[in-house]
Structure 1
Amino acid sequence: MSQLQLDHRKGLLITGFGGLILSADIPLLRLGEGETWSTLLLRSGTTFISAFVIWAVWSLATGRARTIVPGRVGFLVAGLYGLASICFMIAVYNTKTANLVFILAFNTVFSALLSWVFLKERPKTVTFIAMFFMLIGVGIIVREGLSSGHVFGDLVALLSTFILSTAITVSRFSGKDMGFAAIIGTILPMLVAAFMVSQNGYTVAVPGWIIFNGAVVTTLAFLCLATGPRFLSGPEVAMFYLLETVLTPIWVWLVFAEKPSDPILVGGVIIIAALVGHSLWQMYHVRKRSRMAGLVRHPI
């Protein structure tokens, strides 16, 4: 097996695991029964502490201190993840879960466009086709949001998705490990949330769920998903947010009995079908390229 195939498989496993864990994020936030800024403060704080502990243990075990923020580009990526986290939390409390996760799946479209413009990685025709259908799906969801009074939450979710795609693109461009930089980005939402809580008070009814979410779920998810761009293209990394898109509405349906409306389901099915089709094509294309590279022989 070629190194390209090994790196691609490693990237798939890492980001796939991150996407799977991330699907528990929103249900845990809702189980905490807190208001927006209090929840964000507790979640960001526990994520930061957990990441620092992991970094310290990792450094002691390996005998060398791992770089937390790789240069100025690392601070940029950290800031972008921080902004995306703030927008995400606002969206959680201002729109339905199904709306949010289906719109977050639009990450793939933004990542493909940004990679094309800034990294000169022109999307294939099949990517444009998938993006077209995803636009239709998101349009249906946003239209439903207009009629149900959730347009603000839907737009903030879309902004969060764009910022997240920018972070993935910058990480891909740098070629550096941004796993810890993404978690250091929690300092920004933590500071903003601390200011808001100082003004309005602290309210979290069941803090245990938020602590578990910040210390375990989001920490591991951020580490995995932010490491993915070292091995995969931006659009491919964004594809693994599909796991959150598919699984989160199921968890919410089972735990909170919140059934998505028919238009939301239609829009979601369109997005998921486009993403699955495109993801399968991506994997086939990489395997084909690897086989072709293996046939090349250098002259002796």
Structure 2
Amino acid sequence: MQRQRQYGLLLVTVAMLFWSLAGLFVRLINVSVGDLILWRSLFAGCALLVIAVLWPAKNTVFGWAGLGASLLAAVSMAAYAVSLTLTSVANVMILYATLPFFTTAIGWAFIGERSPRRALIASAVSLIGVGIVAAQGMKISDMSGNILALFMTVTFAGLMILARAIPQLNLALINAVAAFLCSLAALPFSSGSIPGLHDLAFLFALGILTTALSFLLFLMGSRFISSTEAALVELLDVVLGPLWVWLVLSEDPGIGALIGGGIVLAAVLWNLAPSLRYKPARISEATAQSSSDELTDSLCRQPPVHVAPQGLN
């Protein structure tokens, strides 16, 4: 169980690193919102479809549950992209930081999941940091972007819980369908022209890294750890998202964002401390090969996670 948990934490952390680049890529792309969503989603959908075809998972399902998951993912993808064009990256990250609380509430209501006490404490502490950032970042003029960012957070929390509740769902296919649905929705609002090479390159990176791989890896990893803990790791995006934009484009998040981001970072590291101290036992070459084969199959499907009433840890 400990090795599975570490594997889940690794996947979620890598997904967070990819996701944190979204604000920077959006700032570097000079196209309309319609074109942004259209091309980003097309690149992401094609990449995910390739994954689903080249690495087919056994005993996976789609059905009505898969369609519902695709709709949630599509709404979350679109809302995230649009919110980054309507408000600051810092504001989007602030509202996204409420993810642990939405996942806790939805998980408890629908699948009876109780999150580890340590993760709940860390989430509460991180909320203090988020509050410090929010104190300087919210403006009436940013209201539309803020509402979309909050809507993105709620739908993504629902997607996480659905993926945990039905572990047989084909995650690669679900996210591929979601990306293509986003493309269809954005088509009427696009310019109909092909972006320049500069914009196309960043749209490709935006689609592959911050949409296809980040969604897939995060949903895979969240099946091995509690929903609250997965969302808590993703809060590092609150620190890294504005940081990349600040370093590259000098969009200063302000001293409040730096202090609040530091509090969030400290809370996440405190929650992860027990796992970071764990030293796994040596395994044989045969066992390592067997594990490698199992991880290949897990690209689209993970084994069920049984949630005990006391929590996952």
What whole-Å deviation, never above 9, does each CA across 1:10-55 have from its counterpart, x for those lacking one? 2122222222222222212221222212101100011101111222
- CA shift at 1:171, angstroms? 0.9
* TM-score, with length taken from structure 2: 0.77
Q: CA RMSD in A?
A: 2.8
Q: Which of residues 220, 224, 229 in structure 1 aligns to 2:217?
A: 224
Match of 1:297 in 2: none
Q: Cα gap change, 1:127/1:21 in structure 2, threshold over 3 Å: closer, same or farther?
A: closer
Q: Specify every segment of 5 or more residues in structure 1 that has no aligned partner in the other structure, as ranges.
A: 60-64, 288-300
Distance apart, 1:173 and its partner CA = 1.2
The aligned residue for residue 25 of structure 2 is 28
Would the aligned equivalents of 1:46 and 1:211 in 2 still touch at CA under 8 Å? yes
Please point out which of 67, 72, 87 is paired with 1:80: 72
Q: In structure 1, what is the Cα distance between the partners aligned to 2:122 and 2:208?
A: 35
Distance 1:19 1:231 in 2: 16
8 Å contact 1:141–1:267 — kept in the other structure?
Answer: yes
CA distance 1:69–1:257, change in 2 (3 Å):
farther
More helix by share: 1
Instruction: Tell me the equivalent position of 2:44.
Output: 47
Query: Over residues 64-91 of structure 1, what are the superposed CA-to-partner deviations in whole Å (9 max), with x where a residue is unaligned?
Result: x767753322221111111111111121
TM-score, normalised via structure 1 length: 0.80
The runs of 4+ residues in structure 1 deviating greater than 6 Å are 284-287
Q: 1:124 to 1:218 in 2, by over 3 A?
A: closer
1:207 to 187, 193, 200: 200
1:194 counterpart (183, 187, 195): 187
- Post-superposition shift, 1:165? 0.8
Runs of 5+ consecutive residues of structure 2 not aligned to the other structure: 280-313
Give the partner amino acid of 2:38: L
In structure 2, relative to structure 1, the CA distance for the partners of 1:209 and 1:174 (3 Å cut) is same
Distance 1:159 1:102 in 2: 13
Structure 2 counterpart of 1:163: 155
Q: How far 1:238 sits from its partner (Å)? A: 1.5
**How many residue pairs end up in the alignment?**
276
Q: Which residue of 2 is the match for residue 94 of structure 1? A: 86
Matches within 5 A, 1:91-130: 91-130=83-122
Work out whether 1:176 is the aligned partner of 2:189. no
* 1:298 corresponds to: none
Q: Which residue of the partner structure matches residue 234 of structure 1?
A: 227
**Cα separation, 1, equivalents of 2:94 and 2:138:** 15
Name the amino acid aligned to 2:234: Y
Q: Is the Cα contact below 8 Å between 1:77 and 1:178 reproduced in 2? A: no
| Contact in 2 for aligned 1:85/1:160 (Cα 8 Å) | yes
Question: Residue 253 of structure 1 aligns with which residue?
Answer: 246
Q: Identity, % of aligned pairs?
A: 27
